[in-house]
Amino acid sequence: MICQNSAGEVVSITAIIKTQGSDTKLVAQMQPYYEAAGLSPWELVGKKIPPLVTQIADGENGGVMMNEFPAKYMEAVREASGSSVPLMNVTEYLEHCEGNGISEKDFPEIIPLFQKRIWDRFKPDQAPTSSQRLLKP
């Protein structure tokens, strides 16, 4: 993600974007693992990388995490061990990509929604303090 302030300073950070449907996975049933097992590798800068499938949990729902998750988690871990679909967190995934020669500069650049509209209202010679006036509703 690329962000720019009114002084023109730019910073970036690697961001993992939640896609539609990622919050409907049944985390206690390890649905993300089984979904990932059915996907093919993606190509990025001419290199094959595994797709990343994650779960966004909304917390405890009627004892599901306490009662169903442990056994299903252990089953998925046993199945994933030594397979082509390893369980990993996002940091491990990014490290895996880096180990395969994919760096931050290879990921698509994104900017915050409507940031361009804000900066289109500025003229190149405007002082950064003018942002207060331009950004008022």
Domain boundaries, the chain: 1-17+110-137, 20-106
117 versus 26: the higher-pLDDT residue is: 117
pLDDT at 25 over 70: no
CA nearest to 18, candidates 38, 28, 32:
32
Specify whether the CB–CB gap between 110 and 1 falls below 8 A. yes
107-119 per-position pLDDT tens digit: 988 877 777 777 7
Specify whether the CB–CB gap between 10 and 4 falls below 8 A. yes
The residue with tokens 């797709």 is: 51
Please give the Cα distance from 63 to 49 (Å, whole number): 36
